[in-house]
Structure 1
Amino acid sequence: MKLHDISVSFGDKTVLSAFSGDFSAGITCLRGPSGGGKTTLLRVLAGLQAPTRGRVEHPFLRPSFLFQEDRLFPWLTAEQNVAAVLPESDGSKAALWLAAVELSAEGAAYPAQLSGGMQRRVALARALCYPGDALLLDEPFKGLDPPLMRRLIPLILRQTVPVIVATHSEEEVALLGGRVIAL
């Protein structure tokens, strides 16, 4: 995936201006303040936001996206929320992904029964297990305490597809390594 001279405007406000980058491999951290264009860039990479100007080359076809909001289905349990993105034959892997984010005991709970941090981990498990061609994470550790975040980082580091992480946290950037793009 390559972006050439991408600009995104909403009305008279330009959020991204003449941005170019190659996201073909490895981990890339998009670092910057709130409102700096990180989420907009992730949306362009996911094909959810058309650029106002510029060219997208070799777009991702099936990216997995962890939004800033958890976007869990309230009528499904934690395990069902994770299983919803898996191929039917792999549905049993949902419990393994919940265990990976330290939620083994909460598989039968509904989102309303979970804390905000637990909901975030269910959403992270769902994004990690989706068999996409890229992993796009918008503030993946929002609401999680630093020790838990440090235990979850290896799940991201093991990914074999391009990983793009939007964050304002210098600690997350340092732990994830990879390339850093300041926005």
Structure 2
Amino acid sequence: MSASSNGGKPGFRSFLRGLFSKASPAETEMTDVAVETIPDEPFNTYAEPQSDPIARPTFVPRPTIAPIMPRGAVPSSAPRPATNGLQIPLASIVTNLPLELHGKVRAMDFGQITVTVPLEVVLGQLGSGAVKVPFGLLRRAAPAAFVPGLESDQVMVALPLGEILSRLNPALLTRRPTQRQITISEEVASPFDVP
């Protein structure tokens, strides 16, 4: 089909021919001039704004993620001293997330990132056998690890008890005032001995 057979309009074949044909010398010179006018310095996307007459508030996030240990450093097995909270590894928390929150986790290596949970929250719930915190607390503590969004902030997340008990100071665990202590006579060697 040619341009003359369809009423003088150029066809698809002529369009492709024009697209893949060599450029004329005049077009090549224009391209060279355009390339020469591009500055050699990289484009800075984080340039400081010029004098802006409108004052904008600045947001400074509160750092709540514990510092990451350098490569090759061995983490101490002793619990870290935390005056206001307990530091739990984020990787162990993410493995226990409810199914509805799996889509909120960014795919990343959590490494040595820890989340600080208030000690009052841990001690207040430990007697019930489970320590749960709202997902919003985790999301604010490690914003880089989770997708932003407030819709799931009230979902409760169970923290791993093994991590909590290994990091908790045993002196903080007190007996209930109503709890009795029973002494066993010396005749009983083991509760599993057959008389």
Fold similarity call, TM over 0.5: no
Could you tell me the TM-score, scaled by structure 2's length? 0.19
Could you tell me the TM-score, scaled by structure 1's length? 0.20
* Larger RCO, structures 1/2 (Cα 8 Å, 6+ apart): 1
More helix by share: 1
Larger Rg: 2
